[in-house]
Every structure is written in structure tokens, then in C-alpha cells.
């Protein structure tokens, strides 16, 4: 179920601002990598480029052997890469089950019309991320932030990804909710899922990753084992905002 995600010499410029500066890294199949850095470092911009929501200025992105840099977002999802969003994006007026249903749909109108919904799979995904049976008919308006993140995970899982990009999955969660999401990520890791995870909550992130990549102002400043990366002088400086000599 896994594949290798490779980002090579990725550059993204917004006018005069370089949001991603010659970024290269690889996430091996079954590996979990943390992407850390201060606010505005360009972590989410990298996610957006991997997903094709923002087109890179230059550079390539590969999933396994295949280059996906020129594909549309749905086409990339079909190749097996999927993401969650920092701010959850549920469909507010339809139920939890229907939200998951959208993720499960084939990208073919004909099949959408002729084949019914797979309610068992919807239920299975909802229960897998920690929803109760009764939650299936609730709408996102009735859900807590933790539940919305679970829903986001369920819809992402529904697209049957090989690589999951998780963007600030712990933001706005209670301690208990963090534990639930962590346990879910651990379970998926045990099953061989490949992860690239962005989080400000380093304490929660540490046990979920095999190694870390630190970036600042769009540039990679450190890569390696979490303890080494976090001990790096440049990384500490970027978090404290001292501009490199703090």
C-alpha cells in the first residue's frame, strides 16, 4: 500500500517572495517524516504543491516512479497521495457518512449514478477513526474540532492513499483528542502507511515520526533524527526568531 514520495529541487515564488527554495527530500515507503518549522516557514505551501493545489515554479514531484508535478489534484489523489487541511474542510450540510461517501466516490459520473453507496465501508472508516455508530447521521455543525479532524482523516483515508500528508492534525485539540488521533496514526503506521506530518505540537509529533525535516523561510535547514534536528542551532534559532545568531 506504500509508495515513495520524492520532491526534487522544488521552487515556489509568489511574486518577489520565495516560499519554497530549492527543496529536496524523499519519504521512503512506510516511513513517517515530520516537517517542522516556525509560522510562515512554507510547510503548508509544500503540501499544496505536492497536491497540485499550487503549481511549483520549478522542480519535480514523484510518486514511486511516476512524476506527478503536472497532474491535476484529483489525478494525484488517484495516484495515491492525499492530505488533510490545517482548517478542516467538511461539507457542512451533509452527514458524516455522506462526507466520507464523497471521499469514496470514483471519479466517474456514470459509476456515481449507476452504483450505490458502500455503506459498510463508510461505517468502517468512520469507526476506524474513532466515531461512534450514532455519529454517522450527524452533520459537521454538531461536531467538535477533534471530531472534524477525525472526519478529515476518514475522508482522506477514503481516497485509499499510499502517502498521507497531515497538516497540523493536533491544532485546537484537547489532550484526549490528541491521544485519539495519535493512536490512529500509529495504527496506520503499523499497517505500513507512509506519512508526511506538519505539526507545531512537537511533543505530540515526536513519537509519530521516524525523522524530521526542519525548514525556515522556504529553505531546508536540517534533516535527520528528531533529536538531532531539534538540537540543531539553526533550528533553535528559527523557532526563537533570532535570525540565526541567537
Partner 1 sequence: MNLRWYHFAAWGALIAAMLLMPRLVDLGLMGRGTLRTMIQACYLAMFAISWDVLSGRTGYISFGHPFLIGIGAYGTAILSKKFGVPVELSIPLAVLITMIGGLVVLLPALRIKGSYFALVTLAFMELMYQLVQVIRPDLTGGTRGLSGIKTLTRGAENGYMLAVSLMLAVALGCWLLMRTRFGTALWALGQNEEAVSGSGLSTIRLKAMAFLVSAFVAGLAGAFLVHYNGSLAPRAMFDINSVFTIIVAALIGGAGTILGPVLGAFFLTFLLEWLRPFLPGAERFLVYGAVALVLYMYQPKGIYAIIEGGLKRLWGRA
Q: Give alpha helix (H) positions in the chain.
A: 43-51, 73-78, 96-104, 109-114, 119-128, 145-158, 175-190, 202-205, 226-231, 233-240
Nearer to partner 1 among residue 140 and residue 216 (C-beta): 140
Which region, judged by CB under 8 A, interacts with partner 1, from 54-62, 75-83, 181-189, 213-221?
A: 75-83
Nearest approach in angstroms of CB 184 to partner 1 is 19
Nearest approach in angstroms of CB 78 to partner 1 is 6
Nearest approach in angstroms of CB 154 to partner 1 is 11
As a 3-state breakdown, the chain gives helix, strand, coil percent values, each rounded to 5, of 40, 25, 35
For partner 1, the binding residues in 82-141 under the rule CB under 8 A are 82-83, 85, 89-94, 98-99, 101-103, 105, 107, 109, 112-113, 115-117
Q: DSSP secondary-structure letter at 38? A: S
Site membership for partner 1, residue 71 (CB under 8 A): no
Nearer to partner 1 among residue 156 and residue 238 (C-beta): 156
Tell the burial category of 192 from Cβ atoms under 10 Å away from its Cβ (0-12, 13-18, 19+): exposed
- Take residue 41 and report the three cell numbers written for it: 516557514
Nearer to partner 1 among residue 53 and residue 232 (C-beta): 53
For partner 1, the binding residues in 41-70 under the rule CB under 8 A are 51, 53
What residues contact 74, with CB distance under 8 A and at least 6 apart?
A: 107
Amino acid at each position: 500500500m506504500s509508495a515513495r514520495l520524492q520532491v526534487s529541487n522544488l521552487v515556489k515564488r509568489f511574486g518577489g517572495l520565495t516560499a519554497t527554495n530549492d527543496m529536496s527530500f524523499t519519504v521512503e515507503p512506510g516511513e513517517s517524516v515530520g516537517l517542522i518549522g516556525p509560522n510562515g516557514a512554507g510547510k503548508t505551501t509544500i503540501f499544496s504543491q505536492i497536491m497540485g493545489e499550487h503549481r511549483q515554479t520549478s522542480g519535480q514531484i514523484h510518486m514511486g516512479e511516476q512524476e506527478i508535478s503536472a497532474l491535476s489534484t484529483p489525478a494525484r489523489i488517484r495516484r495515491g497521495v492525499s492530505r488533510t487541511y490545517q482548517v478542516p474542510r467538511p461539507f457542512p450540510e451533509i452527514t458524516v457518512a455522506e462526507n466520507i461517501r464523497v471521499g469514496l466516490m470514483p471519479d466517474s459520473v456514470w459509476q456515481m449514478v449507476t452504483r450505490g453507496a458502500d455503506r459498510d465501508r463508510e461505517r468502517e472508516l468512520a469507526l476506524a477513526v474513532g466515531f461512534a455508530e450514532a455519529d454517522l447521521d450527524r452533520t459537521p455543525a454538531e461536531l467538535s474540532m477533534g471530531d472534524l479532524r477525525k472526519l478529515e482523516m476518514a475522508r482522506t483515508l477514503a481516497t485509499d492513499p499510499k502517502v498521507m500528508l497531515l497538516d497540523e492534525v493536533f491544532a485546537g485539540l484537547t489532550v484526549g483528542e490528541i491521544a485519539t488521533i495519535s493512536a490512529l496514526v500509529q495504527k496506520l503506521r503499523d499497517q505500513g502507511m507512509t506519512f508526511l506530518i506538519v505539526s507545531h505540537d512537537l511533543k505530540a509529533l515526536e513519537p509519530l515520526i521516524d525523522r524530521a525535516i526542519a525548514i525556515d523561510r522556504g529553505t531546508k535547514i536540517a534533516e535527520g533524527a528528531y533529536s538531532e534536528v531539534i538540537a540543531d542551532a539553526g533550528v533553535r534559532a528559527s523557532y526563537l526568531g533570532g535570525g540565526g545568531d541567537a
